[in-house]
Chains A and B, each alone.
Chain A
Amino acid sequence: MHSSEEFAAMQLHFSETIDKLEKDLRRQTKIIQRSDHRQQKEYDELQQKYKEISVLSDEIEATQREVVFTMGAIGESRSKETGQHVKRVAEYSYLLATHYGLDETECEMLRQASPMHDIGKIAIPDAILNKPGRFDAAERKIMDTHAQLGFDLLQHSQRPLLKIAATVAYEHHEKYDGTGYPQGLKGEEIHIHGRITSLADVFDALGSPRVYKAAWEDDRIFQLLREERGKQFDPKLIDIFFTHLDKFLMIRDQFCDT
């Protein structure tokens, strides 16, 4: 049996424990209320910041796209080609990249970079660039430097997009069988971005009038592409092209010159 002192001590201990629990509970409730309030505020802020970043990022991307297209158009305009040409090359490249199996980000970057393939032409004299008729050997040699020149212009950039553009400028005249220029790369030594832009550019150029030639008929274009499968062009890309021919022709209609 407990003595009355022991009992009183137990009572005291009990009431102290209850006090402590009540105090903890009161604090806990307050902490949770404050925390809920803060979470709400923090999440609101987060969403607001995210919105701001997303607007900025859209702005940056749009600016980048425009600058890139303008640069590409500068290269083209000096040779009397249209701004539509670079747009079509961009879309063809994107389509080829997608079906080749590159990931979406890379496809989108190539779409933006491929219009810069001829940027080196800004350093080619007008007399050669816009000469009607065929180039003589010396003129051809100068004309062919535009790939190297384009690469030289872009190669120092660390931006991923401009790095792709540098590759595309450098390698878009390489041929799958190794007979292209400026490096004479062969097969998959040529970067996929170079192989893709090469086909996109040639397909579009053949179907467009130039100072030195009329636009080719479709049948003649398709025949040449088939003949050059595995020679000038990556056979896989030629296969993709013919499998999805309707999509390529749709792009051509959508971005036509008139």
Chain B
Amino acid sequence: MKNLSIAPTKYTPSINLDANTGIFEIIGKSYPENTFEFYQPMMEWVENYFSSEPQEQTTVNLEIIYFNSSSSKLFFDFFDIFDAKKSKHAICINWIYDAENENAEEAGEDFIEDFTDLKINLVVKDA
């Protein structure tokens, strides 16, 4: 299956989903005008990844510096996909943020609270 790679813009993060390594990286800012439209290719790709031949271990690295409310909602939906697959696949989500980024930290805590059985790590980057 083909990898998915989307270059960053002022309002959107870089997205690199590698089907061969099972490492997904989303890095940057996320406040597009139409969040769900922007992320639709990514959501579809991930669904396809799991229904084709996923790697034994799938690792998701999310480093979102700034995000709007609909991006928060989108990330919940995104994690729902992994939540549905977690019994059959090894999945690890790393929610990465700078120590002083209080918003990102709070969002990470919300995800953990919501997805009790999903492996979500809060990874604090030192300034």
Q: Is the interface of B mostly helix, strand, loop or mixed?
A: helix
A32 at interface, CB cutoff 8 A = yes
B47 CB → nearest A CB, Å:
17
Proximity bits, B57-74, A CB within 8 Å = 1, else 0: 000000000001100110
B106 at interface, CB cutoff 8 A = yes
B114 CB contacts on chain A under 8 angstroms: 23, 26-27
Which residues, 18 to 32 on A, are CB-close (under 8 Å) to B? 23, 26-28, 30-32
B107 at interface, CB cutoff 8 A = yes
Tally of contacts, chain A with chain B, CB under 8 A: 22
B39 CB → nearest A CB, Å:
15
Which of the four size classes fits the interface of chain A? 10 to 19
Query: Do the beta carbons of A30 and B110 come within 8 Å of each other?
Result: yes
Q: Is the interface of A mostly helix, strand, loop or mixed?
A: helix
A35 at interface, CB cutoff 8 A = yes
A220 at interface, CB cutoff 8 A = no
A34 CB → nearest B CB, Å:
6
A27 CB contacts on chain B under 8 angstroms: 73, 76, 114
Complex: how many Å from CA A26 to CA B73? 11
A244 at interface, CB cutoff 8 A = no
A38 at interface, CB cutoff 8 A = yes
Which residues, 69 to 127 on B, are CB-close (under 8 Å) to A? 69, 72-73, 76, 103, 106-107, 110, 114
Complex: how many Å from CA A38 to CA B106? 11
Complex: how many Å from CA A78 to CA B73? 71
Proximity bits, B13-46, A CB within 8 Å = 1, else 0: 0000000000000000000000000000000000
Query: Do the beta carbons of A28 and B106 come within 8 Å of each other?
Result: no
Query: Do the beta carbons of B73 and A31 come within 8 Å of each other?
Result: yes
A28 CB contacts on chain B under 8 angstroms: 73
A247 CB → nearest B CB, Å:
49
Closest to B69 in A: A35
B107 CB contacts on chain A under 8 angstroms: 34
A35 CB → nearest B CB, Å:
4
B73 CB contacts on chain A under 8 angstroms: 27-28, 31
Closest to B70 in A: A31
Complex: how many Å from CA A128 to CA B65? 67
Proximity bits, A92-126, B CB within 8 Å = 1, else 0: 00000000000000000000000000000000000
Instruction: Give B contacts to A, CB under 8 Å.
Output: 68-69, 72-73, 76, 103, 106-107, 110, 114
| Given pairs A32-B69, A34-B103, 9 additional interface contacts (CB within 8 A) | A23-B114, A26-B114, A31-B69, A34-B106, A34-B110, A35-B68, A35-B69, A35-B72, A38-B103
